[in-house]
């Protein structure tokens, strides 16, 4: 909890002052004691209260004054708030290793299916854009709420040579900047770091390591300066497997060894995911890293992400609640005091 007007907490000093005055008044009352000849007369004149109940009104009054003093300082609490205006950039690896069949039927098909289900689950929520990357990165679909156009674009994904993770992140930043004025494009001064995170996030799904282009850590620093979180997903296993893609998933450029069925003539995919790099990207930007070795784990990783970047924490002023609580306690203190000290009818 934080306070907009912390200096107002000085009003809490009124409480020890009241306690000091009460102590002084009780001390004087003892000095002014008088002798009486009949205790029965004294008992009949005193209110019918125990020593414990006599302390309730003063305690409620002090608690009420404390709440009012805290309320005067304008306390603010951080509460989770759903953000429907968020922007998500899905950056999908379309390198040749995505044809590996260690994930049935192959990685690229499983990734397309999981991405389509994720997009469908976010219908009516944040804007989503698609970036694909192999040797270079390109914006496939700008951030949009048109679910059908996003899913249609996924159907046309093809693989190529190379893995440019850093370039994919910079391309995603520029795509976000086009629709979110609070995010500066690459090459522009991002300004101060600011507080909290931007209402945008990047999800990088890859099965390998950066092989060309911008260093991913350099791109991660650019994202962090713009308060854009990057969530990384390492997809695939370490098991060697044939790399098979059908003709519709192969762009034909730079792969002289592909057969007519869209399959490498020899060799198996043994490439490992650069998990330390993906973890460092997430740590630098405030995101998180997820490992997925099959289609179900990939779907679970994607499903777990929206709670991280479509729910933000905002500061809410709670002064009214403290003021209301203080007023209730003070009213209760006065009411109990008047009730217990009301005149009683003499007993016969």
Summarize pLDDT for 307-320 with one digit per residue, the tens.
666 555 567 777 78
Residue spans of the domains in the chain: they are: 2-78+316-340, 84-309
pTM of this prediction exceeds 0.75: no
Q: Say how far apart CA 165 and CA 91 lie, in whole Å.
A: 9
Q: What is the pLDDT of residue 216?
A: 97
Confidence of residue 266 (pLDDT cuts 50, 70, 90): very low
Determine contact, residues 58/170, Cβ cutoff 8 Å: no
Write down the pLDDT at residue 153.
Answer: 95
HSE, side-chain direction, 13 A CA sphere, residue 260: 0
- Residue 209 · residue 117 · CB < 8 Å: no
% of the chain surpassing 90 pLDDT: 44
Q: What is the mean pLDDT of residues 150-173?
A: 95
Structural domain 84-309, CATH architecture: 3-Layer(aba) Sandwich (3.40)
- More confident: 220 or 68: 220
Q: Which H or E element spans position 315?
A: strand 311-317
pLDDT digits (tens, 9 = 90+) for 287-312: 999 999 999 999 999 988 876 665 55
pLDDT > 70? residue 25:
yes
Give the span between the Cα atoms of 235 and 220, in whole angstroms. 20
Q: Which of 194, 262, 266 is nearest to 225 (CA)?
A: 194
Write down the H helix ranges in the chain.
Answer: 14-31, 39-45, 56-72, 107-121, 147-155, 165-179, 216-225, 275-285, 295-304, 306-309, 319-340
- Is the pLDDT confidence value at 179 over 90? yes
pLDDT of residue 243: 85
Closest CA to 292 of 192, 203, 166, 200: 203
* pLDDT score of 248 more than 70: yes
* Number of residues written out for the chain: 348
């Amino acid at each position: 909890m934080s306070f907009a007007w912390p200096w107002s907490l000085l009003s809490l000093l009124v409480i020890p002052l009241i306690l000091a005055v009460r102590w002084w008044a009780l001390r004087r009352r003892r000095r002014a004691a008088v002798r009486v000849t009949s205790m029965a007369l004294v008992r009949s004149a005193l209110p019918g209260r125990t020593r414990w109940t006599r302390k309730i009104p003063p305690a409620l009054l002090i608690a009420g004054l404390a709440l009012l003093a805290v309320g005067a300082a304008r306390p603010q609490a951080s509460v989770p708030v759903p953000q429907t205006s968020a922007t998500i950039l899905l950056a999908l690896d379309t390198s040749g290793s995505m044809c590996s069949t260690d994930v049935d039927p192959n990685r690229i098909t499983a990734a397309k299916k999981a991405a389509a289900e994720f997009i469908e689950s976010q219908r009516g929520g944040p804007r989503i854009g698609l970036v694909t990357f192999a040797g270079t990165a390109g914006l496939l679909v700008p951030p949009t709420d048109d679910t059908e156009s996003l899913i249609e674009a996924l159907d046309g994904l093809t693989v190529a040579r190379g893995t440019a993770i850093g370039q994919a992140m910079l391309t995603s930043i520029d795509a976000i900047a086009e629709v979110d004025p609070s995010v500066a494009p690459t090459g522009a001064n991002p300004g101060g770091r600011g507080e909290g995170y931007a209402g945008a996030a990047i999800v990088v799904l890859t099965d390998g390591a950066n092989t060309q282009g911008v260093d991913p850590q350099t791109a991660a620093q650019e994202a962090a300066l713009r308060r854009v979180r990057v969530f990384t997903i390492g997809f695939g296993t370490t098991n060697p497997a044939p790399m098979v893609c059908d003709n519709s998933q192969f762009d034909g450029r730079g792969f002289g060894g592909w057969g007519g069925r869209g399959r490498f003539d020899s060799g198996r995919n043994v490439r490992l995911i650069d998990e330390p790099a993906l973890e460092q990207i997430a740590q630098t930007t405030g995101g998180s890293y997820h490992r997925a070795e099959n289609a179900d784990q990939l779907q679970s990783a994607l499903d777990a992400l929206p709670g991280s970047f479509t729910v933000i924490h905002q500061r809410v002023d709670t002064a009214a609640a403290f003021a209301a609580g203080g007023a209730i306690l003070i009213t209760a203190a006065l009411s109990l005091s008047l009730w217990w000290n009301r005149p009683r009818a003499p007993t016969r």
